[in-house]
């Protein structure tokens, strides 16, 4: 679906160079409130016990949130938030199609939400496309942190991603993930991207920073860090004990939101930050639009039992 209204995108990280440096305390607070409310709404939509996206959590990592805003939303005419996608690089141990362990650091889809009132209108694809373009990755190069059924269908419909490579962690990768992995390691992510794009391949660079030699099985941690780790709701054994058949299509039910081990590495900023003035110009948020009101209201619409404490 072609979006005709004037939509705009905001790119936000909250660590160091982000909101901390904004002069306007009001704006800083607004952005943090928006992220918190988006995180709560997403958690509720996914039946999570707590938000995995919040301003406070974003201050302690280098994840990037892309927010889709409808600039023309009425009645106030100052715009409304449509949804968001959160991405970040994570060090993972993933199995290839020969069941060999590989240590990689792909871009991961960590959280993705479009407001219920406007789902299935093409907004998710619009936002996803923007993220792909900004991050310079191809869909098959991504790792997805415990995708919902809706997201699996979304990826299948828009990007023909269907056949997964079974993993022993809760990240889902698709056929083709390893296609662009065999490139020499580079000293930094930014340098890697530029040099690959310019000198090696005109197509977007692979998101994985490096691919060290394969390790002996005994050296490999079976799990990789997930943002949903703290949810601690695992009731089933992990995938080594109930693995899907080789070359499986996505499971009928997403994997349990079980805990996992490992830590994300520290790294430099993923993207140049939106200049402060540009951000100030584009971020003219206000509550009057129904969608924004739903997101920004004190109670995002859930019953008290459904409300989550933001982490
Ligand atoms: C790693 C993670 O973040 S997992 C969590 C993902 N987020 C969620 O599940 C939260 C609830 N869902 C959503 O927020 C949205 O549905 C998203 C983000 C998954 C997709 O955004 P949308 O704006 O709805 O997507 P968009 O309109 O571009 O594409 C629609 C397609 O997505 C899939 N989809 C969206 N909603 C549904 C649904 N309720 N049931 C089945 N498929 C759906 C379908 O393939 C659909 O195509 P169709 O309408 O022809 O069947």
Question: What number does the ligand 1 atom closest to the CA of 120 have?
Answer: 27
Angstrom distance (rounded) from CA 71 to CA 69:
6
CA of 155 to the centre of ligand 1 (A): 9
* pLDDT confidence tier of residue 189, bands split at 50, 70 and 90: very low
CA of 41 to the centre of ligand 1 (A): 14
Testing ligand 1's pocket by substitution, the residue of 120, 148, 164, 171 carrying the most ligand atoms inside 8 A of its CB is 120
Residue corresponding to tokens 């938000």? 51
pLDDT in tens, 203-247: 333 445 544 444 443 444 444 667 777 775 543 444 443 444 445
Report if pTM > 0.90.
no
159 is in an annotated binding site: no
User: Considering only CA atoms, which residue is closest to atom 41 of ligand 1?
Assistant: 150
pLDDT of residue 45: 98
Q: Report CA torsion sign: 8, 12, 17, 22.
A: positive
Angstrom distance (rounded) from CA 104 to CA 208:
6
Find the farthest-apart pair of alpha carbons in the chain and give their distance in angstroms, rounded: 61
Testing ligand 1's pocket by substitution, the residue of 2, 151, 172 carrying the most ligand atoms inside 8 A of its CB is 151
Return all residues near 259 (Cβ < 8 A) that are at least 6 apart.
Answer: 223, 226, 229, 231, 232, 234
Q: How far are the Cα atoms of 4, 52, 123, 126, 156 from residue 265, in angstroms, in the given order?
A: 40, 18, 31, 29, 30
- Is the ipTM higher than 0.95? The answer is yes
pLDDT of residue 76: 59
User: Considering only CA atoms, which residue is closest to atom 49 of ligand 1?
Assistant: 120
Nearest to 114 by CA among 270, 254, 3: 3
Return all residues near 41 (Cβ < 8 A) that are at least 6 apart.
Answer: 113, 115, 294, 295, 300, 301
pLDDT in tens, 70-109: 877 665 556 789 999 999 999 999 999 999 999 999 999 9
pLDDT of residue 30: 85
CA of 199 to the centre of ligand 1 (A): 37
């Amino acid at each position: 679906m072609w979006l005709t209204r004037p939509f705009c995108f905001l790119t936000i990280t909250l660590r160091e160079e982000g909101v901390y440096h904004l002069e306007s305390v009001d704006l800083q607070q607004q952005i943090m409130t928006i992220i918190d409310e988006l995180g709560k709404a997403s958690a509720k939509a996914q039946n999570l016990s707590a938000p995995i996206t919040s301003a406070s959590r974003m201050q302690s990592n280098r994840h990037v949130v892309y927010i889709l805003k409808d600039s023309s939303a009425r009645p106030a005419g100052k715009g409304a938030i449509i949804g968001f996608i959160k991405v970040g690089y994570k060090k993972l141990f993933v199995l290839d199609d020969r069941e060999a362990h590989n240590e990689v650091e792909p871009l991961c889809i960590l959280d993705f939400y479009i407001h219920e009132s406007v789902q299935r209108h093409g907004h998710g694809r619009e936002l996803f496309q923007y993220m792909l373009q900004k991050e310079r990755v191809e869909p098959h190069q991504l790792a997805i942190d415990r995708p919902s059924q809706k997201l699996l269908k979304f990826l299948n419909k828009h990007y023909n991603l269907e056949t997964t490579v079974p993993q022993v962690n809760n990240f889902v990768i698709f056929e083709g993930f390893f296609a662009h992995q065999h490139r020499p390691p580079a000293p930094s992510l930014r340098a890697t991207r530029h040099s690959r794009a310019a000198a090696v391949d005109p197509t977007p660079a692979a998101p994985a920073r490096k691919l060290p030699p394969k390790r002996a099985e005994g050296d490999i941690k079976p799990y990789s860090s997930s943002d949903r780790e703290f949810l601690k709701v695992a009731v089933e054994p992990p995938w080594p004990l109930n693995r899907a058949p080789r070359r499986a299509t996505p499971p009928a039910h997403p994997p349990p939101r079980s805990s996992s081990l490992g830590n994300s590495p520290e790294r430099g900023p993923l993207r140049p930050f939106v200049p402060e003035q540009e951000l100030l110009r584009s971020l003219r948020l206000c509550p009057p639009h129904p969608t924004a009101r739903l997101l920004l209201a004190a109670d995002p619409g859930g019953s008290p039992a459904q409300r989550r404490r933001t982490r």
